[in-house]
Amino acid sequence: MATAPVPESKNSPVDFANEQIPQHVAIIMDGNGRWAQRNNLPRIEGHRRGSQTANRVIEECQRLGVRQLTLYCLSNENWKRPTAELEFLMHLLQQFMIESRAEMIERKIKLSIIGRRDKLPRDVQIEMDKSIEMTSKFEDFCLCLAINYGSRQEIVDAVKKIAQDSATGELDPATIDETKISESLYTNGMPDPDLLIRTAGEMRLSNYLLWQSSYAELWVTERCWPEFRNEDLHASLRDYSNRIRRYGGLV
């Protein structure tokens, strides 16, 4: 896992071929609260600034030719946080769905959501469904938001589904393989991540896309998410383009 230096130049050219661009980038957007505290700001301001960073990264990934971007917005463990902070996060999410809808349609961005929806406020779910429906026909670029998501929880849900299908006779247990498990996950139909980025210097996956990231290339920066720049994204993609992906074999 690389802890990447951050180029400080204003212009960071993307100097690699299109075939070296990862098709699926997943990001753990960490450090909003820490950034706010370091700057003597309330934690919610860190989330507000982090939302602005997300908008910039979404636009830049689409511009560069990434096919899917998956953002870890809220884990199922984050409900332990203060109520006021969680209410603000729900407000930000609903605001994003409403205010970004027209732009997603104009830019032909397909929206998908993974995670358990039942704990989210009903008005947030309604806006999510509207955006998902209105962008469902687009294919070139997918924005996937992991909300109330946990990878172990996802695997448990997949196992329950497979067990139920086996119990009713719809599935022969002898036919269960990696493909069947992948098809039972929230991410069914999505490609596995090629590159997984984590901000704020933490060296762990935090229960994020554990099955799907088995062969993802990991890239970590000390920068907190609100201060993550396009130059940092370019640095991660450049580092990715120089790696050799063996998948357990030899090149």
Which 3 state secondary structure label does DSSP give 34? helix
Chain position carrying tokens 């294919």: 139
The set of catalytic residues is 30, 78
Whether the CB-CB separation of 95 and 54 falls below 8 Å is answered with: no
| Radius of gyration of the chain measured on its C-alpha atoms | 19
Chain position carrying tokens 């998948």: 247
Q: Across the beta sheet with 141-149, what order do the strands follow?
A: 2-3, 217-220, 195-198, 24-28, 68-75, 141-149, 109-114
C-alpha dihedral (17, 107, 199, 115), degrees to nearest 10 = -120
Q: With residue 3 as reference, give the H or E element that holds it.
A: strand 2-3
Q: With residue 59 as reference, give the H or E element that holds it.
A: helix 43-64
According to DSSP H, which parts of 107-244 are helical?
Answer: 122-134, 151-167, 178-184, 230-241
